[in-house]
Structure 1
Amino acid sequence: MSFPPTSLTSESAVVVPEPISTVDMRRAWRDARQALLADFTVHPQRVSGLVQGLSRAADQSLRTLWAEAGMPADTALLAVGGVGRGELFPYSDVDVLILLPDATGQATQQAAERFVASCWDAGIEIGPSVRTVQACIEEAAQDVTVQTTLLEARALVGDAALVRRFRKAFKAHLDPRAFFQAKMLEMRQRHAKFENTPYALEPNCKESPGGLRDLQMLLWVARAARLGGSWQQLRKSGVLSSYEAHKIQANERTLKRIRAHLHLVAGRREDRLVFDLQTAVASSLGLKPDPTKRAGEGLMQHYYWAAKAVEQLNQIVLLTIEGRLWPELAAQPGVPITQIEDIEDGRFLDKDGRLEPADRSLYERDPPAILETFVVFTQAPGIRGLTAPTLRALYHARERMDAAFCRSPRSHALFLRIIQSPQGVTHALRLMNRTSVLGRYLRVFRRIVGQMQHDLFHVYTVDQHILMVVRNVRRFFILEHAHEYLFCSQLAASMEKPWRLVLAALFHDIAKGRGGDHSTLGTTEVRRFGKAHGLSTEDTEFVAFLVEHHLTMSRVAQKEDLSDPEVVTRFAQSVGDEPHLTALYLLTVADIRGTSPKVWNGWKAKLLEDLYRATLRVLGGQAPNPQAELQQRQQEARRLLNLYGIDEHGAKALWDTLDSSYFLRHEPADVAWHTRQLMRRVQSADPVVSSRLAPFGEGLQVLVYCPDQPDLFARICGFFDSHNFSILDAKIHTTRSNWALDSFIVVEPHLSEHYRELISMVEVELARTLAARGPLPEPVRGRVSRRVRHFPVQPRVELRPDERGQRWILSVRASDRTGLLFAIARVLAARGISVQLAKIMTLGERVEDTFLLQAQEQNLGNEKSQIALENELLEALAN
């Protein structure tokens, strides 16, 4: 077994240095530390010099303090943790093991306490453990963390014979196979805490998948397996090639530099690249912003590239070490894979569910076989991964994926087979991305690997988002997932050429981060791809349409009035026919669901499905006929009322006060519910508030009926704001009797009460608030998340007349915060502007709201009043 080098030179304690006071020791430690940090500031790339220099300074200080404490000659001091590896980051603890003989007296215990206290007095943040050799062995047997700590212990000072006894006993009790299995379990559990991805928004550069801990893990299991304790030793033992050792060290340096600068910027031990520090760390590393990317985004892309490489190499090396520890498994012959179209039988082997070329030099002789690997991966039953030799061969063969490879007709045909495969597409593309094959083949994809999106609603890097959308699209076509989104699965079942939807998902955001409209740029890339790969013009243009318009359906559904026939007709004209509509609908659902777990909800699902069905009717030849639509909706509402024993006469009192716009804007089920609640209270002197569970998903549907008043919308928004509700939709209607009949969809993000109590509270408290008619309260400045604070959306307000010139359309974009909608409503109320429709589009922590406004001539009739309103709204959004 290979242990770290020792600083012991004899059987006894080292020579005692000259006596030194605590003050002098503190000054010496501080001066040594500051000199190293100053040099690193001047040379920010020299991270090895920094961490090794800090470790050497700690070594010297610890030896001096050990002697000053008067530790007995039969004890020893060992560095463990980072210092044990000869590395100390600026604000990391100095972990040590005080090794004692089996029998110790009170004097030894007191000396150990003096040593620990003197370390703290000298300014060294020490993490001590005190054990005998026997205690070390017993605790290591119970806890793999202790076992790992002892594995890399490095002797600093003290009794060399005691250290040799400890090492001999530890070596005798270490089972390399059991240690490997325990560390693999520990790694899987650690990765699970970070959702098994290196692409977190705020990754931990030490503990996250692809972080420094994964590299340390390799050296731990290699050392236990007696294969070496450094990258050079692993190269000599054949675990690593020279190229792999070079790549590991290069990416290790990147991660170490980031961690060191993170400590210095934070001024404390901080291993998370939190939003608050990303820009400052980027600046400390010398990274500059460019027109398309913040400096912090550049930093994160560097980090993600390094973490991805570490994750890939970690898998290769761990599988290699596993093969060394269990050679009998590695030596088992694979089963030849046969009956894959156009691929020679036996060209690939199935080795216990992992794929491996029969000839390990296959990729060197025939580079397009790289893509054949993933064709077989999608089509061979029972294959769930790749063997270590395959991963290693792919890692080395990437350099052969040059321009000629990417232009090869054979490569084109193989890539299309992967995209067009009826199963395994998502897994294959994800594996191709992890092994860097996807980015090497599609150079445009490589540009967005690891690219973070600080737009406040994407929580994945662009490449991970794209692959998430591909996954969502593929699930629509898989029967076992049909229960998730039944309507989508039903539509997908009738689609021709599903692979075109997969290709659109792969390209829809592929031009992000270049500046300009990524939809337009992506369309150009799709056409270039289609021409190079020999796709028909029809197929290419179908995919190009989806990429170009992948944001259109979401925008129309969430921002425009779907009860307006002109809106639906205009959208239908842009779509053209049912196949394009269906594909665009499926891509839109998959795209929204792939941005963040928080963005998708039942309300968005309803809006998109409503738009799909309305557009389908128009495409089917049913020209918008408001009069026929009105009659149909009223007839359906009457049918629903009849189920409750309410005839036409019972509904008459309310319906006589309603105009056609009300019936066209509300679903028949909502009309029936409103009628049941209000039929006997049409002239109620008190506000009527009624609430129920939203019929299509989470949240409440709230009805408000009371005499109209200029600030009613603002007053209602203020109530919901004060009770932590988010408004998803608002439909504002004024009856012929000048009563407000308003309907809201609201959700409480952190449901703290049972819905029954929540409904009762809304009905009672909102009615009481409206009846009080007090002055509007001042909007409260809501708290914003750290992400919003550091990557805010620039507020934008746009005011324009609608197409008929009768009303105004107000569009607002800003970072989301509590009280935002109330602040907007309060400005509108103060200017005497009434809201007729509010479309609230919340995308994670970003809002894009649209309001349909009605105003008197003096309020919005001239350019001066319009500019004044926009300025007031911008001020409200900024405060």
Structure 2
Amino acid sequence: MGEAIAVELAAVRDDWRTRKAALLEPLRAPGGSSRGIHALLRRLAHEADTLLCSLWTAAGLPPDLALVAVGGFGRAELFPYSDVDVLVLMPDGTSIEGDAQLKSSVERFISQCWDVGLEIGSSVRTVDECVAQAQADVTVQTSLLESRLLTGDLALYRGFCRRVRGLVDPQAFFVAKTLELNQRHNKYENTPYSLEPNVKESPGGLRDLQVILWVAKAAGLGNSWDELARKGLATPFEAQQIKRNEAVLSLIRARLHLLAGRREDRLVFDLQTPLAELFGDRHRVAENGRLVERASEALMRRFYWAAKAVDQLNQILLLNIEERLRPSQPEPVPINERFSMRSGLIDPASDDLYRAQPEAILETFLLYQTTPGAKGLSARTLRALYNARDVMDASFRRSPVNRATFRAILMQPQGITHAMRLMNQTSVLGRYLWVFRRIVGQMQHDLFHVYTVDQHILMVLRNVRRFFMPEHAHEYPFCSQLAGGWDKPWILYIAALFHDIAKGRGGDHSELGCREVRVFCRQHGIGTDDALLIEFLVREHLTMSRVAQKEDLGDLEVIQAFARRVGNERKLTALYLLTVADIRGTSPKVWNAWKAKLLEDLYRATVRVLGGRAPDPQAESEARKREALVQLGLHALPHDAHRRLWDTLDVGYFMRHDAGEIAWHTRHVSRHLAKAAAGGRRPLVRARLSPVGEGLQVLVYTPDQPDLFARICGYFDQAGFSILEARIHTTSDQHALDTFQVVSSIMADHNRELIHLVESGLERALEQAGPLPAPSRGRVSRRVRSFPVTPRVSLAPDEKAQRWLLSVSASDRVGLLYSIARVLARHHLNLQLAKVSTLGERVEDTFLIDGAELQQNKRQIEIETELLEALAQPA
């Protein structure tokens, strides 16, 4: 008997899989049309309904029970791998625990559902239990509101519906669901433009549309988009746009499930390209072979534009529903003859205001900035803006009135961040600033920007604005100090708005952006001096970061060259502020205290040069020595204890280290040398919390050897530390005096343990003889596999041809720096400085090196080839 049932279930499972595969086959056909996607999802739900009903009958469940579809399945649409949520509804007074036969039947039904391949989410409750659950949890209440009877007792189901719907307080339900929506949006950083968005849950996703229908249904305002349009909550055009964009998102989600072979609602990097190909997108390549656009970029733009429309329409409809639910409306407060304010929301005098007077469009955002108490735009305003997009044409952009208004928006003392974000959300910014429209929803495949270009620009604008706000001074103390003396914040706002505006066009986006901002300044009446400063900032916005993170700031020629490029302190200050805002606007993971120190050190050194102080390395090193001696005096060292070390050091050492570091080195090395004189020559390793405020600073003093740097890198890799910077110095008596800045993911909670770990572990590693161990071919991250960085190596002499600058760029992985260090050791290259810059999953490392083999072209080629092999991504 059991074998017969198993055979029958196997046949049912095979039949279900066959029918499901046949239904889903159209999703595999390349093409971008979303027409018919809802019909397909309904047919899939219908097939699941039929299967459930047959299993219900086969399980022999009593006729006074009901099988109810709830949640997403209750909407009669089923995505390929979504859960099939069902409720086994029982009459009040029924107890499954007290009825063995009923319990057995229910368990048999549920297990057979799983056996035939239905991924069900099931609950078994009486009507009273459902009501109690719904009263306690608004999520359960929402799930039960979306219900439909599959089979069983119709009267029981109708009684259940009456009681559940009787629980709903439309106003309380609206508040609960909008709070949920806000929490969900916060989780996804309030933007649909993340690089791996969730098609269902992200802002602008399918869940936002479901929220509208939930609250509308709870308030008795309609169950479909057409009903909402008939009742005036949406215009016919808005209902059409919602249905079109909902279909696009549904098709993307259905194909995601299909490609992943499971429920997957995130547009993860691994699936973006194959999904794009299902939509018929292909990589676009120019005639010269340069990649113009990835297939995944076209797909993501399709998603972003749909999500943006959904986000806008979600705001409009929810505000409309809220107005219907509000028992009484406060009287509007006039702002001027064209606008009033009601409940803090700006409202137009008439629905056709923007069509009749297009110049009122930008005025809306100026009023939003300047009107006390204004906290947003009303549903009428949002709707009017959405329906007036075609008004914002070329003549609109050329209008002197609109140009003056946009300039006024930029020059307001407050509200710039909120105004620009709202202008972008409502599509006004891209319609007025046409060059901005080209980068809305544009991905950045550099593995350290976590936002699209438009969102990154707005993040940078926000950061600049915060420099001028006292409440954020604790976040940016030095920037806030500099901003306090800056007279025209709007110069920095315009530079932030244009610094990456030419991304994705090919060519140097800094130069192209400079041309765009030149035109903008001319059109908007920006004075010549201010316009030239803005152009400089856009053109040079990457320069300060590059110099600080890749060049030797202890070399005065580097500082002088940068000072010549900047020209004056006003330009330097503006560039510093924009650079900090830019780096902090790429990703929360990119900025750190070490980068902050490098930029601040470069700023201060350049200010001194621009102030007319002629560089004098000898005088500077003597000043640092004097300051270090003052600090050493606090530690009761013998009067001349420093001389034995300092007599072996040159000016270069003192220029690369500040007085605090010199004193720290001297204190430990002098004691070490005193012990060594009494016998023993063990390596010295000391670590401390970094004075910068992040990570550890590690001192190594030991007899020099060719593979020393490689051994140290190998230890840090094995111990789970990342090296941010290495300053390498060789004393005149052939000792290495090296300083490393390192960080670990577990720094915060285990400082003392990590300091001890480094001091003892690295010391043991340096005492070990023998050949260097082979580097581990560490696994690369999922993002790197999806967007690999082509390894690059650049080897060039400095201006004096005495030292060489080695620059490498590659995808990050465990053991990468050690692999590079082994190549340097193999060719007996001396390392003087290493700067390690990790940008998301990409590394850009710079090494200052010298060595005899660099003087031979053949050896240079060998070194570069071996480095490229070391950088290559493991299979």
Q: Same fold (TM over 0.5)?
A: yes
**SS at the partner of 2:248?**
helix
Structure 2 Cα separation of the partners of residues 356 and 873 of structure 1: 63
**Which residue does the alignment assign to 2:754?**
758
Structure 2 Cα separation of the partners of residues 496 and 647 of structure 1: 52
**SS at the partner of 1:681?**
helix
Structure 2 Cα separation of the partners of residues 121 and 483 of structure 1: 59
Q: Which amino acid aligns with 2:533?
A: F
TM alignment of 1:761-840, pairs within 5 A: 761-840=757-836
For 1:831-852, what per-residue CA distance to the aligned partner results, in whole angstroms no more than 9, with x for missing partners?
Answer: 1111111111222221111111
For 1:662-696, what per-residue CA distance to the aligned partner results, in whole angstroms no more than 9, with x for missing partners?
Answer: 11222122112211112243473221112222112
TM alignment of 1:246-285, pairs within 5 A: 246-285=240-279
**SS at the partner of 1:841?**
strand
**Which residue does the alignment assign to 1:333?**
331
TM alignment of 1:134-173, pairs within 5 A: 134-173=128-167
**SS at the partner of 2:810?**
strand
The Cα shift of 1:714 comes to: 0.9
**SS at the partner of 2:698?**
strand
**Which residue does the alignment assign to 2:686?**
690
Q: Which amino acid aligns with 2:262?
A: R
**Pair 1:52 & 2:42 matched:** yes
Structure 1 Cα separation of the partners of residues 390 and 431 of structure 2: 9
The Cα shift of 1:108 comes to: 4.6
**SS at the partner of 2:183?**
helix
Q: Which amino acid aligns with 1:458?
A: H
Q: Which amino acid aligns with 2:844?
A: E
**Which residue does the alignment assign to 1:863?**
857
What's the C-alpha RMSD, in Å, of the aligned pairs?
1.9
TM alignment of 1:98-177, pairs within 5 A: 98-104=88-94, 107-177=101-171
For 1:187-226, what per-residue CA distance to the aligned partner results, in whole angstroms no more than 9, with x for missing partners?
Answer: 2233333333322332221122221111111111111111
Q: Which amino acid aligns with 2:565?
A: S
Q: Which amino acid aligns with 1:720?
A: F
**Pairing partner for 2:29 from 18, 22, 42:** 42
Distance 1:251 1:653, change over 3 A: same
**Pair 1:551 & 2:545 matched:** no
Q: Which amino acid aligns with 2:66?
A: A
The Cα shift of 1:399 comes to: 2.0
For 1:450-482, what per-residue CA distance to the aligned partner results, in whole angstroms no more than 9, with x for missing partners?
Answer: 222121111111111111110110111112212
**Which residue does the alignment assign to 2:607?**
616
**Which residue does the alignment assign to 1:12?**
none
For 1:138-158, what per-residue CA distance to the aligned partner results, in whole angstroms no more than 9, with x for missing partners?
Answer: 322222222212212112233
Q: Is the 8 A contact 1:120 1:126 kept in 2?
A: yes
**Pair 1:193 & 2:187 matched:** yes
Q: Which amino acid aligns with 2:779?
A: R
Q: Is the 8 A contact 1:641 1:647 kept in 2?
A: no
Structure 1 Cα separation of the partners of residues 448 and 11 of structure 2: 54
Structure 1 Cα separation of the partners of residues 150 and 554 of structure 2: 79
Structure 2 length as normaliser, TM-score? 0.94
Q: Which amino acid aligns with 1:210?
A: G
**Which residue does the alignment assign to 1:639?**
630
For 1:118-152, what per-residue CA distance to the aligned partner results, in whole angstroms no more than 9, with x for missing partners?
Answer: 33333322323233333322322222222212212
**Pairing partner for 2:587 from 596, 602, 606:** 596
**Pairing partner for 2:666 from 675, 691, 716:** 675
173-182 vs 657-666, greater mean Cα deviation: 173-182
**Pairing partner for 2:384 from 390, 393, 411:** 393
Distance 1:678 1:122, change over 3 A: closer
**Which residue does the alignment assign to 2:479?**
488
**SS at the partner of 2:292?**
coil
Distance 1:346 1:867, change over 3 A: same
Q: Is the 8 A contact 1:833 1:854 kept in 2?
A: yes
**Pair 1:877 & 2:835 matched:** no
Distance 1:226 1:672, change over 3 A: same
**Which residue does the alignment assign to 1:629?**
620
Structure 2 Cα separation of the partners of residues 41 and 665 of structure 1: 61
Q: Which amino acid aligns with 2:660?
A: A
Q: Is the 8 A contact 1:638 1:648 kept in 2?
A: no
For 1:240-298, what per-residue CA distance to the aligned partner results, in whole angstroms no more than 9, with x for missing partners?
Answer: 11111111111111110111110010011111222222222222222212223322232
TM alignment of 1:381-420, pairs within 5 A: 381-420=372-411
Q: Is the 8 A contact 2:514 2:538 kept in 1?
A: yes
Distance 1:48 1:534, change over 3 A: same
67-76 vs 706-715, greater mean Cα deviation: 67-76
Q: Is the 8 A contact 1:74 1:159 kept in 2?
A: yes
**Pair 1:80 & 2:80 matched:** no
**SS at the partner of 1:836?**
strand
Q: Is the 8 A contact 2:73 2:84 kept in 1?
A: yes
**Which residue does the alignment assign to 1:13?**
none
Structure 1 Cα separation of the partners of residues 659 and 404 of structure 2: 52
Structure 2 Cα separation of the partners of residues 26 and 786 of structure 1: 34
99-108 vs 803-812, greater mean Cα deviation: 99-108
Distance 1:103 1:657, change over 3 A: closer
Q: Which amino acid aligns with 1:33?
A: K
For 1:409-448, what per-residue CA distance to the aligned partner results, in whole angstroms no more than 9, with x for missing partners?
Answer: 1111111111111001011111111111111111111111
TM alignment of 1:421-440, pairs within 5 A: 421-440=412-431
Q: Is the 8 A contact 1:355 1:383 kept in 2?
A: yes
Structure 2 unmatched runs, 5+? 1-6, 285-290
**SS at the partner of 2:799?**
coil
**Which residue does the alignment assign to 2:449?**
458
The Cα shift of 1:24 comes to: 4.6
Structure 2 Cα separation of the partners of residues 171 and 654 of structure 1: 84
The Cα shift of 1:506 comes to: 0.6
The Cα shift of 1:639 comes to: 3.1
Structure 1 Cα separation of the partners of residues 483 and 327 of structure 2: 47
Structure 1 Cα separation of the partners of residues 425 and 60 of structure 2: 55
Structure 2 Cα separation of the partners of residues 872 and 23 of structure 1: 57
**SS at the partner of 2:340?**
strand
The Cα shift of 1:110 comes to: 4.1
For 1:829-877, what per-residue CA distance to the aligned partner results, in whole angstroms no more than 9, with x for missing partners?
Answer: 0111111111112222211111111101xx2222111111111011111
**Pair 1:221 & 2:215 matched:** yes
Structure 2 Cα separation of the partners of residues 265 and 438 of structure 1: 36
TM alignment of 1:307-386, pairs within 5 A: 307-328=307-328, 331-337=329-335, 345=336, 347-386=338-377
**Which residue does the alignment assign to 2:3?**
none
**SS at the partner of 2:640?**
helix
Structure 1 Cα separation of the partners of residues 672 and 262 of structure 2: 65
Structure 2 Cα separation of the partners of residues 313 and 250 of structure 1: 12
Amino-acid identity (%): 61
**Pair 1:520 & 2:516 matched:** no
**Pair 1:719 & 2:715 matched:** yes
Q: Which amino acid aligns with 1:92?
A: S
Q: Which amino acid aligns with 1:309?
A: A
The Cα shift of 1:715 comes to: 1.0
**SS at the partner of 2:701?**
strand
Structure 2 Cα separation of the partners of residues 752 and 470 of structure 1: 31
**Pairing partner for 1:578 from 523, 548, 569:** 569
- Number of aligned positions between the proteins: 849
Structure 2 Cα separation of the partners of residues 762 and 243 of structure 1: 66
Q: Is the 8 A contact 2:30 2:277 kept in 1?
A: no
**SS at the partner of 2:796?**
strand
Structure 2 Cα separation of the partners of residues 335 and 803 of structure 1: 68
**Which residue does the alignment assign to 1:302?**
302
Q: Is the 8 A contact 2:714 2:815 kept in 1?
A: yes
Structure 2 Cα separation of the partners of residues 757 and 83 of structure 1: 53
Q: Which amino acid aligns with 1:848?
A: E
120-129 vs 84-93, greater mean Cα deviation: 120-129
